[in-house]
């Protein structure tokens, strides 16, 4: 594409952004193909501010728990899951998880538990219900953000219940929201290559639709940087946008860069995404998802220095303190496994933003 054509495409997108018009498939592909990274980032920041964003950058104080690493699915991008026969397999009881969480809370005072894990065929649905119930009873003021749509679907297999019944039972036990994991890339071609045996995109979307209908807010994600095309990334984002139009139940979107270490993709020559691709993905997500209020720059994946830059490319959240993240670190993430609040505040101030500590539902707890 000639330079003049690329410039005219960006100008056409700019006109739409400044007029408050919705971007379409072709706009988003053109943005991803653009080599003018700074212009794309600046457009995303303009869009963020036009939609009510200010200088705030949000974070939450949270604890990551993984109830088990035993998983029936053999996703080719995953370095976390094992079989029950492997030496490093674990499945914690509800009592062990509560004991661990209470000990950690003495140290950090978190307001959110973020818990996901493998889809173990060796537990029952009651196991998950008991985890939620006991955590709620032990910490009634902590928000429980637990279980991906894939795990919820697994629970329907374990129990014979519908997705609605599973979610309603967990909600009544104390579940507050769902994380966005398990979405990967919605395109059937991609799922067949990287996650054979995983549920379809339609089931992921329907699980979140059902959760929203039950008053359970959720998050949404995209795992990029493996075998997907730009067009498949955009298709994924547009499906999320359509569901948000319908339900309004997504709190935030988190683009997740693929980490290939300790997976089959590392043996095939895949490497980590470059920072420019991460920034462009943040920016295009912010531009296209005009109805999702928050876009996160997940520092555990990209590191704090790049997350600081991402706050000028459309992101307005850096996730949180993220005590003891395991899944991305199993796949080679070299970031710290925790950030103290004072360090997050320092990073956000250095990025020219106003640090705001929030709860899971984006209620402001403290502002610096």
3-class secondary-structure state, position 15: helix
For the chain, domain boundaries = 55-367
Q: Above 80 in pLDDT, residue 3?
A: no
Question: What CATH class has 55-367?
Answer: alpha beta
Contacts of 149 (CB under 8 A, 6+ apart): 178, 181, 182, 183, 199, 203, 204, 207, 208
Contacts of 300 (CB under 8 A, 6+ apart): 319, 322, 325, 328, 333, 335, 337
> Can you give the pLDDT at residue 240?
98
Query: Binning pLDDT at 50, 70 and 90, where does residue 325 land?
Result: very low
Rounded percentage of the chain residues whose pLDDT exceeds 70: 86
Closest CA to 305 of 334, 338, 347: 347
Token pair of 152 as six digits: 């919820």
Q: Beta-carbon neighbour count of residue 362 at 10 Å?
A: 15
Q: Above 70 in pLDDT, residue 297?
A: yes
Q: Stretch 235-247: mean pLDDT, rounded?
A: 98
Token pair of 98 as six digits: 């509560």
- In the sheet that holds 317-320, the strands lie side by side as 317-320, 56-60, 354-358, 364-367
In this prediction the pTM is 0.89
Cα(85)–Cα(355) distance, rounded to whole angstroms? Answer: 45
- Per-residue pLDDT of 42-72, as tens digits, reads 999 999 999 999 999 999 999 999 998 887 7
Q: Above 60 in pLDDT, residue 2?
A: no
**Alpha-carbon distances of 92 from 30, 68, 96, 170, 355, rounded to whole Å:** 47, 6, 6, 18, 35
- Per-residue pLDDT of 338-368, as tens digits, reads 568 888 899 999 999 999 999 999 999 999 9
What are the strands, taking DSSP E only, across the chain?
56-60, 62-65, 112-115, 143-146, 218-224, 250-257, 294-295, 317-320, 354-358, 364-367
Tell me what the pLDDT averaged over the chain comes to.
88
Lowest mean pLDDT among 26-30, 32-36, 194-198: 194-198
Closest CA to 127 of 173, 84, 164, 85: 173
Residue linked to tokens 């094992």: 82
- Per-residue pLDDT of 81-113, as tens digits, reads 666 777 778 999 999 999 999 998 988 889 999
> Can you give the pLDDT at residue 271?
56
> What is the greatest pairwise CA distance in the chain?
63
**Alpha-carbon distances of 35 from 7, 26, 30, 210, rounded to whole Å:** 10, 16, 10, 39
Cα(11)–Cα(183) distance, rounded to whole angstroms? Answer: 32
3-class secondary-structure state, position 17: helix
């Amino acid at each position: 594409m000639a330079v003049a054509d690329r410039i005219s495409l960006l100008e056409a997108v700019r006109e739409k952004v400044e007029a408050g018009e919705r971007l379409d498939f072709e706009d988003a592909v053109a943005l991803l193909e653009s080599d003018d990274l700074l212009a794309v980032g600046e457009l995303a920041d303009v869009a963020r501010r036009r939609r009510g964003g200010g200088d705030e950058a949000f974070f939450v104080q949270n604890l990551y728990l993984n109830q088990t690493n035993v998983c029936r699915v053999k996703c080719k991008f995953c370095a976390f899951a094992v079989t029950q026969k492997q030496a490093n397999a674990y499945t914690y009881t509800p009592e062990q998880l509560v004991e661990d969480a209470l000990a950690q809370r003495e140290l950090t005072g978190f307001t959110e538990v973020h818990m996901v894990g493998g889809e173990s065929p060796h537990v029952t649905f009651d196991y998950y219900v008991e985890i939620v119930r006991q955590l709620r009873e032990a910490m009634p003021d902590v928000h429980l953000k637990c279980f991906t749509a894939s795990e919820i679907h697994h629970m329907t297999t374990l129990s014979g219940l519908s997705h609605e019944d599973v979610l309603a039972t967990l909600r009544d036990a104390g579940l507050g929201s769902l994380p966005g994991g398990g979405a990967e890339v919605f395109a059937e071609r991609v799922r067949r290559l990287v996650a054979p045996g995983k549920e379809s995109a339609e089931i992921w979307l329907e699980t979140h639709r059902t959760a929203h209908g039950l008053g359970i807010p959720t998050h949404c994600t995209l795992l990029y940087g493996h075998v997907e095309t730009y067009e498949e990334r955009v298709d994924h984002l547009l499906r999320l946008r359509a569901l948000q139009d319908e339900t309004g139940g997504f709190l935030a979107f988190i683009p997740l860069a693929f980490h290939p270490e300790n997976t089959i993709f590392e043996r095939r020559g895949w490497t980590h995404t470059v920072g420019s691709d991460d920034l462009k993905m943040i920016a295009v997500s912010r531009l296209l998802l005009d109805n999702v209020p928050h876009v996160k720059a997940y520092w555990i994946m990209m590191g704090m220095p790049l997350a600081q830059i991402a706050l000028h490319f459309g992101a307005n959240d850096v996730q949180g303190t993220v005590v003891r993240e395991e899944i991305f670190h199993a796949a080679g993430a070299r970031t710290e496994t925790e950030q103290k609040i004072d360090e997050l505040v320092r990073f956000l101030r250095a990025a020219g933003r106003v640090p705001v500590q929030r709860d899971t539902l984006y209620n402001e707890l403290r502002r610096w």
